[in-house]
Structure 1
Amino acid sequence: MAVSMMRLRHARDSDARAQLSHPVHFDQGFYMEDIVSNSELTRRKGKSQGGAFPGAGKPQLHYVCASSVVKPKPAPKNFLRDFLEGAAAGATAGVVVETALYPIDTIKTRLQAARAGGQINFKGLYSGLAGNIFGVLPASAIFIGVYEPVKRKLLDIFPDHLSSVAHLTAGAVGGATASLIRVPTEVVKQRMQTGQFASARTAVSSIVAKEGVRGLYAGCGAFLLRDLPFDAIQFCIYEQLKIVYKRTVNRDLYDAENAIMGAFSGAVTGAVTTPLDVIKTRLMVQGSGGHYKGIADCVAKIIKEEGAGTLLKGIGPRVMWIGIGGSIFFTALERTKQLLSQASPPKVEDFPSARTA
């Protein structure tokens, strides 16, 4: 009878612990967090110590062999939540960067747009900011909103040593999707920065009237030629730096560390893609006159008429602008993502050492 009662109590305690358990998987087994009864803790510690064991009734962490338990099926990833969180973080970071660094971007654009002997105007450096923010906000939201779930899906597919491929691909996919808004925004912004129009509304109506809707996508090919490699390279450099550094320090990154890595990735990518940016600028600001017939014609005429060095015009302001912008953008992005994640249940990818059953 006594043996039967002991078995019954053991089964009841096991069922209770199973209901209260929250497994976290590591390597060949997993840790089981459960609430163990006071009597059980006292029995484990030994009767010689007597009394209630401190911590009774509180969550305890136990390592359990993976082969000895039935592992629960992991919850499916919520891509809608990933998109919405990424969109909110991207919109916040994009608007902060654009507002802070718009004057530097204006100077860079005017340097690149000026043909040989042209004068650079340093007035009205915030010209077109309001209209540009109207486009930057949804474009940044779409970019990060697409980038985050695509990145997580690809990281599940690719092995760890090919994580850079996942980051490159996700950056390119996010950039291509956001270009639907980015290109018209960039055309209007640069036409205003070069003094062609006084307001975004006037710019849009005038461009559509003279060039049609296609005018809002002037230089689209050059834009994609610049932005897809730019997005892919910048985010890949940043993500890889973050992975290596987190493994080294074995903790989450501070804001200052995110800022440094964001600045480095932005500056390097900005320098490498400057020739593509010059070509994109020339094609976007030329209007209906059409001095350049396309990307190849633009490159050939720039080299012939102004020299190959012209393809590096504005590299100083561009590197400074994108370097500082990367610092601000990634810091704001990571901080916003962290604040949003505090209101959401933890995801498996938040624990790099963990694995799902």
Structure 2
Amino acid sequence: MKRQDFLISLLAGGTAGVCVDLVLFPLDTIKTRLQSPQGFSKTGGFRGIYAGVPSTAVGSFPNAAAFFVTYEYVKSMLTFSSSSYLSPVTHMCAASLGEIVACLIRVPSEVIKQRAQVSPSCSTYQMLANTLHQEGIWGLYRGYKSTVLREIPFSLVQFPLWEFLKDLWSWKQGHVVDSWQAAVCGAFAGGFAAAVTTPLDVAKTRIMLAKKGSSTASGNVLFALHHVWKMQGISGLFSGIVPRITAISLGGFIFLGAYDKVRSLLTQLGTKDTR
């Protein structure tokens, strides 16, 4: 990957991440509270829906930037990407590796954010201090495995579908899709991926919110899923699905649309500068 391409992916990805995370934060709070074992009302209901937003504000840019830099780099390195029938494999591999790298930044931000969302009386700083005091630095990475196990299947669905829809739309109209069209494709791809991966999202939330020392806090995704199934059945596994689909559909529209737009603008600027 050239230095210019690296900077474009970094800036475009980071900008897109900040836009989507801050705009859709209230929906994310509602989804987290619906999935909390304490229940929606006891964790604040509709009150304090911006609890934990400083954690998101700090983590959004580097998290999204890390994902797209890795995603674009891996796409450029895979030699079989030129074969159209293998392009979904390229996108799956690139997205999976992108998620693994991005989660190194995302998970600490997510842990503090979600704990603040279900304890709106505590500030983000207090939640960070409490987590470090009680669990140390590893407490910030509780749920890393479950987050990766959620994000990889999500990306395996979302990104190949996004790229396929863009290619299909481009073929239908005879030219490359515009940024708003890429955003529409992102909304459809994100909403579908969100629906099928909701149980994994519930497991991740339960693990991050579990009391230290409990069986769920160990990070075993299958145990967390079984526990939810045993206690709440199928409705528990899909708790928060409506705000999740809504948030991620809107998020896909903003995130992938903003990424495509900023990337195209920066590419145009870079082309002018080299003339």
Question: Hey, what does 2:125 align to over in structure 1?
Answer: 201
Amino acid at match of 2:117: Q
Figure out how many residues of one structure are paired with residues of the other and give that number: 269
Question: Hey, what does 2:153 align to over in structure 1?
Answer: 229
| The one of 293, 304, 322 aligned to 2:248 | 322
Contact between 2:51 and 2:124, CA under 8 Å: does it hold in 1?
A: no
Would you say 1:268 and 2:231 are equivalent positions? Answer: no
Would you say 1:305 and 2:231 are equivalent positions? Answer: yes
Matched-pair identity in % = 38
Q: Deviations over 1:276-324 (max 9, x none)?
A: 0000000001131525142222122212222232000000000000001
Question: Hey, what does 1:174 align to over in structure 2?
Answer: 98
Shift of 1:254: 2.4
Contact between 2:55 and 2:110, CA under 8 Å: does it hold in 1?
A: no
Question: Hey, what does 2:22 align to over in structure 1?
Answer: 99
Amino acid at match of 1:81: Q
Q: Which structure would you say has the larger Rg?
A: 1
CA distance in 2, matches of 1:81, 1:266: 28
Question: Hey, what does 1:253 align to over in structure 2?
Answer: 177
- Superposed, 1:1-357 pairs within 5 Å as 78=2, 80-115=3-38, 119=42, 121-154=45-78, 156-157=80-81, 159-195=83-119, 198-292=122-216, 293=218, 294-345=220-271
Amino acid at match of 2:192: V
Contact between 1:83 and 1:146, CA under 8 Å: does it hold in 2?
A: no
CA distance in 2, matches of 1:109, 1:342: 40
CA change 1:134–1:277 in 2 (3 A) is same
Question: Hey, what does 1:68 align to over in structure 2?
Answer: none
Q: Deviations over 1:114-139 (max 9, x none)?
A: 34696452101111112211011100
Superposed CA RMSD in Å reads: 1.9
Structure-2-length-normalised TM-score: 0.92
Contact between 1:278 and 1:313, CA under 8 Å: does it hold in 2?
A: yes
Shift of 1:197: 6.2
Secondary structure of 1:288's match? coil
Q: Which has the higher strand share?
A: 1
CA distance in 2, matches of 1:189, 1:135: 10
CA distance in 1, matches of 2:23, 2:40: 30
Shift of 1:208: 1.2
Contact between 1:112 and 1:313, CA under 8 Å: does it hold in 2?
A: yes
CA distance in 2, matches of 1:87, 1:202: 31
Structure 1 consecutive aligned stretches of length 4 or more whose deviation exceeds 6 Å: none
Q: Which has the higher helix share?
A: 2
- Of structures 1 and 2, the one scoring higher in RCO (CA 8 A, sep 6+) is 2
CA distance in 2, matches of 1:318, 1:122: 16
CA distance in 2, matches of 1:182, 1:306: 28
Question: Hey, what does 1:27 align to over in structure 2?
Answer: none
